A and B are shown apart, each in its own frame.
Chain A
């Protein structure tokens, strides 16, 4: 009887804790995430295109350097993050699973310095570290016994492709049309500040950018995929420092290199 109680106790305790997954299972999960993320990323580029022409290579290199400076400080540094600039005046940024991150040319024009850009990229990295889109579209590995069965029956072809198709389409609808929802966007804002400040960037920079974007939003120039700016700013300042960004020497160096890279792009009308 005592033995029975012991096993019951053990069983209940085990139910209340998170099982440690094998590294191979988690690596396979990451591989699945990348497969879906690649498809989504490829279609985001198909929608907008990458920024072309003179200065674009240098700008992309620069955005990658800023992003790569944040990655080690993030909650998932094992992901191979890629950063790219989309050729659209629309003010937005996207994170596709697997670490494919995009910022639009329109948003870069509103950004005034490197620290604000770091805040934006940190926000997108947080969508990846917190697996925001994965939770909406990717099945968990543990429930994939059915998938293995399907794979066996279809010899790894149609049904799996069908579910992949649904995942990609659902992901694109969320990113481009519906949005991830206010809770996840607030969490990503916080992540943007936390990862950027851990890398040495000014923690107030993202708040400054959001305040500037709030004015644009009132002019109706922003997509509706994100929660209202007053709500975002209030949530952000509830947990992060408020006030003007620092004007330290290194801040000015970073601002100067941002402005230099942006100045090399050909001027366009908005």
Chain B
């Protein structure tokens, strides 16, 4: 019985490691469309465009490319288009509510630079090189950037004119 247990344990450990590596983790297409290409090359013919959220398993890797089988087609997809997690909804942040007021937040951070410097025992001279004095912030200009909206029809027109996808 003791012998049995020992061998079961060893077999389990070996199987565990082998299993862990051979059981491919699912990967998900993150881009709006992920090109499945004939070869692991950027200019290789596209076999199929996989929509965002498509789950697949990688058979092998070749450099930065995953070799995958989708239905009857075997091809390659670049790892920069995929991730190990299901893609987030594009309006995911709205569910958590908008972030705190930026200007207020930046002011608080500016003051916390001084607090942090004091905590670390820095002299007033050193603190000039630290935090806010070293990297002054401009929350108003940032808000200007954040308030800029691209209209969907302007973007579409821009893409069509330039022959973009």
Which residues of A pack against B, CB within 8 Å? Answer: 1-2, 4-5, 8-9, 11-13, 15-18, 20-21, 23-24, 26-28, 30-31, 34-35, 38-39, 41-43, 45-47, 49-50, 60-61, 64-65, 68-69, 72-78, 80, 82, 84, 100, 114, 126, 129-130, 158, 161-162, 164-166, 168-169, 172, 176, 190-191, 193-195, 197-201, 203, 239-241, 248-250, 253-254, 257
- 18 cross-chain CB contacts under 8 A: A1-B8, A5-B8, A8-B16, A12-B17, A17-B25, A21-B85, A24-B96, A27-B88, A27-B93, A31-B96, A45-B142, A100-B145, A158-B112, A158-B115, A164-B112, A165-B116, A194-B81, A200-B163
Question: Which residues on the B side are within 8 Å of A74 (C-beta)?
Answer: 30-31
Known: A15-B20, A78-B92. A35 touches B105 (CB 8 A): yes
Cβ contacts B58-89/A at 8 Å (1 or 0 each)? 00000110000000000000101111111111
B contacts with A: majority SS: helix
Which of A11, A13, A161, A172 interacts with B23 by CB under 8 Å? A13
Say whether B159 faces chain A, with CB atoms less than 8 Å apart: yes
CA distance A240 to B78 in the complex (A): 12
Counting from the closest, the 8 A-B pairs by CB-CB distance are A16-B20, A12-B16, A250-B163, A72-B32, A43-B135, A46-B136, A200-B164, A161-B112
Say whether B19 faces chain A, with CB atoms less than 8 Å apart: yes
Question: Which residues on the A side are within 8 Å of B87 (C-beta)?
Answer: 77-78
Report yes or no: B136 in contact with A73, Cβ–Cβ below 8 A. Answer: no
User: Smallest CB–CB gap between B19 and chain A, Å?
Assistant: 5
A44 to chain B: closest residue by CB? B135
User: Smallest CB–CB gap between A191 and chain B, Å?
Assistant: 5
Question: Which residues on the B side are within 8 Å of A2 (C-beta)?
Answer: 8
Q: Tell me how many residue pairs across A and B have CB atoms closer than 8 Å.
A: 231
Size range of the interface on B? 35 or more
User: Smallest CB–CB gap between A269 and chain B, Å?
Assistant: 24
CA distance A45 to B138 in the complex (A): 6
Question: Which residues on the B side are within 8 Å of A65 (C-beta)?
Answer: 150, 154-155, 158
Which of A9, A60, A195 interacts with B80 by CB under 8 Å? A195
Cβ contacts B86-117/A at 8 Å (1 or 0 each)? 11111011011001001001101100110110
Question: Which residues on the A side are within 8 Å of B137 (C-beta)?
Answer: 39, 42-43, 45-46
User: Smallest CB–CB gap between B54 and chain A, Å?
Assistant: 14
Report yes or no: B145 in contact with A84, Cβ–Cβ below 8 A. Answer: yes
CA distance A38 to B102 in the complex (A): 8
Known: A30-B93, A43-B135, A199-B165. A162 touches B116 (CB 8 A): yes
Question: Which residues on the A side are within 8 Å of B150 (C-beta)?
Answer: 61, 64-65, 68
Which of A47, A49, A77, A82 interacts with B145 by CB under 8 Å? A82
CA distance A9 to B17 in the complex (A): 8
Known: A27-B95, A161-B115, A253-B161. A42 touches B139 (CB 8 A): yes
Say whether B35 faces chain A, with CB atoms less than 8 Å apart: yes
Most buried by B among A69, A166, A248: A69
